[in-house]
């Protein structure tokens, strides 16, 4: 049971790190071979199968000319809720 709780905690932090890296790497200031960009791309490839179904149900929130993707927030809350129930 302790391993499952640790995996939920790890998944939570991976999503948080992905969100922070998306602000840095997604700004277009880093070259494609920069280590931070490569780390972001690797995490992004791992998270897309989880985020894609959430995005199909939850469309982005329009903020003027921009859109805010709430799927990582929903994923974080979902991870925490399931972790609280299991652990």
Tell me the pTM: 0.85
Q: How many domains does the chain have?
A: 1
CA distance 5 to 71: 22
Low-confidence ranges of the chain (pLDDT < 50): none
pLDDT for 13 equals 97
* Contact present, 70 and 61 (Cβ < 8 Å): yes
pLDDT for 47 equals 95
Residues spanned by the domain of 32 = 2-86
Give the three-state DSSP class for 63: strand
């Amino acid at each position: 049971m302790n391993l499952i709780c640790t995996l939920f905690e790890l998944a939570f932090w991976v999503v948080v790190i992905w969100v922070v890296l998306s602000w840095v790497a997604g700004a277009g200031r880093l070259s494609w071979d920069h280590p931070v960009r490569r780390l972001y791309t690797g995490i992004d490839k791992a998270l897309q199968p989880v985020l894609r179904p959430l995005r199909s149900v939850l469309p982005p929130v329009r903020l003027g000319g921009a859109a805010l993707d709430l799927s990582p927030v929903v994923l974080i809350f979902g991870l925490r809720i399931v972790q609280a129930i299991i652990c």
